[in-house]
Structure 1
Amino acid sequence: MKTIINTALSQYGVTELVGQKHNPVILNYFDKIGHTWVATDETAWCSAFTNWVAMQCGKEMSHQLTARSWLKVGTEIEKPAIGDIVVFWRSKKNSWKGHVAFFIGYSEDKKYIYCLGGNQNNQVNIKAYPIYRLLGFRHLNNSNIQNPTQ
């Protein structure tokens, strides 16, 4: 079975295209998880990427495009391992906006969480997020649905 972190890393560097063209790889994330109506890589895609990686690995998915939807998937945990889900708030804590990515580790001073995710500065990369924006960690369980792409 494919591991979450290796699957996500296989997409490292995938970037939105500037202008009228749209990256077909990003559009494929939406298409494969059932959001075929998305036609632009400017549509927020962190959750689409996370769903796509989870699907590739036979793990539970949120099936939604909102980052905070991941707070209801898998098992809530306090001490994440590499590849677990990290959900952050964006704009303000009680907003619907957020960001979702895969846990890599903490900064040495424990003030930042390094994450591998999609739509981080418009690409798949590893980025540090301030710990005060953390909403939660989740561990993804195996899905009961067979992945037709494996």
Structure 2
Amino acid sequence: MQSKVINGYGRGQYLKPDPNGWSKRLKIFNKLNPIFKFNTACLNNPNIYELKERASWMQIAYGELWTEEIAGSRHNPRVIEYHESAGHKNKTDDKDWPWCASFVCWVYSKSKEHTGKITAKATDWKNWGKEDSKENPMYGALAVIDWDENDNGAGHVGFVVNVDGDNVYLLGGNQTGGDKSTNGKVCVSRYDKSVIDYFRIPDNYTPEQKDYEYDEFKNTNLSFETLSSTR
């Protein structure tokens, strides 16, 4: 399916000469493959929640999976767009500027029902909206990590997609596999629940019991082992 979207013909079909360049398309396949696997897992699981009925902003966030920063003048226009939604129109180097909070701003700005705030500072989100349970946050809750409580802005924000014991899995921007030399990207990362200081949800969102149940999500066969951990 990915091949038909990109090329107009299947992956096993080749045109000679190849008009688009197989090596370039292969890179695109590799990026799309995890996303299509996730979609297939959801479609094949009759018990999976309808995401559109649970925290609708999460559909927007998932649509940005694998968006990746580029250092220097060859910046990723999408990451710059995240910064612009947070009120920063002069950010031209993806890698020099943290963008987890800008990503959150962008996601909420695209949500018609639930709006966020305009800030590129992660810890500014700790008083936004209303508080959610620290023991069992809802799907789509905004997790806020304040690495330095002296309020210098050092922190991280991301959306909760799964809770498994002491582990919380966040879909967020500017996340990597722990190696800071690696480009930050939008991906799912695992965090210890103890490092998360706040869980927030929009003021005008009324959670239901199903928002706090993760068994169906765990059964989708989405492998977190292939996804990144905290940056």
Please report the TM-score for the alignment, with normalisation by the length of structure 2: 0.56
Q: In the TM superposition, what is the alpha-carbon distance from 1:94 to its structure 2 partner?
A: 4.7
Q: Which one has the bigger strand percentage?
A: 1
Which runs of 5 or more residues in structure 1 are unaligned?
144-150
Is this contact kept in 2: 1:60–1:73, CA < 8 A? Answer: no
Residue number in structure 1 paired with 2:186: 124
Answer 1 or 2: higher relative contact order, Cα 8 Å, separation at least 6. 1
Counterparts in 2 of 1:29-68, with a 5 A limit? 29-42=82-95, 43-58=97-112, 59-68=114-123
Residue number in structure 1 paired with 2:155: 98
What amino acid sits opposite 2:124 in the alignment? S
Which runs of 5 or more residues in structure 2 are unaligned?
1-51, 177-183, 206-231
Moved over 3 A (4+): 92-96
Matched residues, number: 140
Is this contact kept in 1: 2:83–2:89, CA < 8 A? Answer: yes
Give me the whole-angstrom Cα distance separating, in 2, the residues matched to 1:106 and 1:81.
9
Q: 1:135 aligns with which of 182, 197, 218?
A: 197
What amino acid sits opposite 1:11 in the alignment? E
Moved more, 1-10 or 95-104: 1-10
Aligned partner of residue 141 in structure 1, secondary structure: coil
What amino acid sits opposite 1:71 in the alignment? K
Quote the sequence identity (%): 27
Residue number in structure 2 paired with 1:9: 62
Q: In the TM superposition, what is the alpha-carbon distance from 1:111 to its structure 2 partner?
A: 2.0
What amino acid sits opposite 2:203 in the alignment? N
Please report the TM-score for the alignment, with normalisation by the length of structure 1: 0.83
Residue number in structure 2 paired with 1:147: none
Is this contact kept in 2: 1:47–1:100, CA < 8 A? Answer: yes
